[in-house]
Structure 1
Amino acid sequence: MTTRDTADHRPLDRSDARTLVLSALGGALEFYDFVIFVYFAKVLGHLFFPPGTSDFVAQLQGFGIFAVGYLARPLGGIVMAHFGDRIGRKRMFTLSVFLMAMPTLLIGALPTYASLGVLAPVLLTLLRVVQGIAIGGEIPGAWVFVAEHVPPRRIGMACASLTSGLTLGILIGSLVSAGLSAHLSEAAMLDHGWRIAFVIGGVFGFFAVYLRRWLSETPVFARMRERRELTAELPAWVVVRDHLPGVLLSMVVTWVLTAAIVVVILMTPTLMQTTFHVDPARAFTAGSVAALALCLGCFAGGLLVDAAGRAIAMLVGSLGLAASTYALYLDLRAGAAHLDALYALAGGFAGVAGVVPAILVSTFPPSIRFSGISLSYNVAYAICGAATPVVVGWLATGQGGLGPAHYVGLVSLVGVGSAIYMMVSRRPVYGR
Structure 2
Amino acid sequence: MAIPTTVRPHQATPSQRRDTRRVAVATVVGTTIEWYDFFLYANAAGLVFAQLYFEPAGPQLAILLSFGSVGVSFLFRPLGAFLAGHFGDILGRKAMLVITLILMGASTVLIGVLPTYAQIGVMAPVLLLLLRILQGISAGGEWGGAVLMAVEHAPDAKRGRFGAFPQLGVPLGLLLATGMLAIMTAVAPGEAFIEWGWRVPFLLSIVLIVVGFVVRRSVEESPVFLEIRDRAQRTKKPVVVLFRKHWRLVLLAALTFAGMNSAGYMTTGGYIQNYATNPDGPVGLDRQSVLVAVSISAVTWLIFTMLAGIVSDRIGRRATYIVGWIALIAAIFPLFALVNTGNIWLLCLGLCLFTVGLGFTYGQQAAFYAELFPASIRFSGVSISYALGSILGGAFAPMIATALVQATGTSVSVGVYLTIMATIAFAATLAIRDRTGIPLGPDHEEEQSAPAIYGMSRT
Name the counterpart of 2:364: 355
CA distance in 2, matches of 1:183, 1:60: 28
Residue of structure 1 in register with 2:422 after alignment:
412
Give the distance between the partners of 2:428 and 2:392, measured in 1 at CA.
18
Which digits, 9 at most, give the CA deviation of each residue in 1:180-210, with x for residues without a partner? Answer: 2233222101110111121012331232112
The SS at the match of 1:326 is: helix
Q: Deviations over 1:40-69 (max 9, x none)?
A: 114112111244832x43322221111111
Aligned to 1:242: 245
What secondary structure, in the 3-state scheme, does the structure 2 residue paired with 1:216 have? coil
Q: For residues 106 and 297 of structure 1, what CA distance do their matches in structure 2 show?
A: 34
Asked if 1:253 is matched to 2:256, the reply is yes
TM superposition shift of 1:25: 1.0
1:323 aligns with 2:330: yes
- Counterparts of 1:97 and 1:193, CA distance in 2: 24
Check whether the contact 1:254–1:380 (CA below 8 A) recurs between aligned residues.
yes
Q: Percent of counterpart pairs with the same letter?
A: 31
Task: Supply the distance in 2 between the matched residues of 1:132 and 1:203 (Cα, whole angstroms).
Answer: 21
The farther-off stretch of 240-249 and 92-101 is 240-249
Per-residue CA distance 1:106-125 (angstroms, 9 max, x = gap): 11111111111111111111
How many equivalent residue pairs?
425
**1:372 matched residue in structure 2:** 381
Cα 1:115–1:334 change in 2 (3 A) is closer
Point out the structure with the larger helix share. Answer: 1
In 1, Cα distance between the equivalents of 2:209 and 2:392?
26
Amino acid at match of 1:208: G
Q: Which amino acid aligns with 1:10?
A: Q
How far the C-alpha of 1:253 sits from its partner, in A, is: 0.9
SS of the aligned residue for 1:400 comes to coil
Counterpart of 1:183 in structure 2 is 187
Aligned counterparts of 2:213 and 2:435: Cα–Cα separation in 1:
41
| Residue type at the aligned position of 1:367 | S
Structure 1 moving runs of 4+ over 4 Å: 5-8, 425-430
Q: Show the counterpart of 2:288.
A: 281
Alpha-carbon offset, residue 179 of structure 1: 1.4
User: Secondary structure, in 3 states, of the residue corresponding to 1:334?
Assistant: coil
Q: Alignment partner of 1:120: what SS?
A: helix
Range moving further from structure 2, 396-405 or 312-321 = 396-405
Whole-angstrom CA distance in 2 between matches of 1:6 and 1:139: 24
* 8 Å CA contact 1:43, 1:58 repeated in 2: no
For 1:127 and 1:163, the matched residues in 2 are separated by 24
Amino acid at match of 1:257: M
Question: Which residue in 1 is equivalent to 2:450?
Answer: none
Q: Distance in 2 between matches of 1:18 and 1:260?
A: 32
Aligned: 1:431 with 2:436 = no
**Aligned with residue 141 of structure 2, among 137, 140, 144:** 137
Is the 1:361–1:369 contact (alpha carbons within 8 Å) kept by the matching residues of 2? yes
* Contact in 1 for aligned 2:85/2:379 (Cα 8 Å): yes
In structure 2, what is the equivalent of residue 72 of structure 1? 76
TM-score (norm 1): 0.93
Single out whichever of 7-16 and 275-284 deviates more from structure 2: 7-16
Whole-Å separation in 2 of the counterparts to 1:174 and 1:80: 29
In structure 2, relative to structure 1, the CA distance for the partners of 1:166 and 1:332 (3 Å cut) is closer
8 Å Cα contact 1:29-1:169 kept in structure 2: yes
Please, what TM-score do these two structures have when normalized by structure 2? Answer: 0.87
Paired position in structure 2 for 1:386: 395
| Residue equivalent to 1:401 | 411
Q: Any idea what SS the aligned residue of 2:232 has?
A: coil
Contact 2:67 2:396 in 1 (8 A): no
**CA distance in 1 between partners of 2:131 and 2:268 (Å):** 23
Within the alignment, does 1:29 sit opposite 2:33 as a pair?
yes
**Is the Cα contact below 8 Å between 2:55 and 2:62 reproduced in 1?**
no
Work out whether 1:53 is the aligned partner of 2:62: no
Separation in 2, partners of 1:428, 1:208 = 30
SS in structure 2 at match of 1:344: helix
SS of the residue aligned with 1:148? helix
Aligned pair 1:421/2:428, yes or no? no
1:342 equivalent in alignment to 2:345: no
Q: 1:224 aligns to what? A: 228
Answer whether contact 2:273 2:291 (CA < 8 A) is retained: yes
SS of the residue corresponding to residue 410 of structure 2 reads: helix
Gaps of 5+ in 2: 1-5, 442-459
SS at match of 2:178: helix
- Once the two structures are TM-superposed, the CA of residue 342 in structure 1 deviates from its matched residue by 2.4
The equivalent residue for 1:113 is 117
Report the counterpart of residue 155 of structure 1 in structure 2: 159
Instruction: Name the structure 2 match of 1:294.
Output: 301
Contact 1:257/1:356, CA 8 A, preserved across alignment: no
1:262 alignment counterpart: 265
For structure 1, the residue ranges without an aligned partner over 5 or more in a row are none
Q: What is the alpha-carbon distance in structure 1 between the residues aligned to residue 439 and residue 333 of structure 2?
A: 36
Q: Which amino acid aligns with 1:124?
A: L
Residues 8, 156 of structure 2: 8 Å contact kept: no
Report the Cα distance in structure 2 between the residues aligned to 1:280 and 1:427, rounded to whole angstroms: 43
- Answer whether contact 1:140 1:374 (CA < 8 A) is retained: yes
Instruction: Give the superposition deviation at 1:294.
Output: 1.1
Match in the other structure for 1:165: 169
344-353 or 139-148, which deviates more: 344-353
Note closer, same or farther for the CA distance 1:60–1:205 as it changes in structure 2 (3 Å cut): farther
The offset of 1:366, in angstroms, is: 1.0
RMSD of aligned residue pairs (Cα, Å): 2.3
Q: In the alignment, is residue 197 of structure 1 matched against residue 205 of structure 2?
A: no
2:42 and 2:297 mapped to 1: Cα distance? Answer: 16
Q: Secondary structure at the residue paired with 1:263?
A: coil
Distance verdict in 2 for CA 1:122–1:265, change over 3 Å: closer
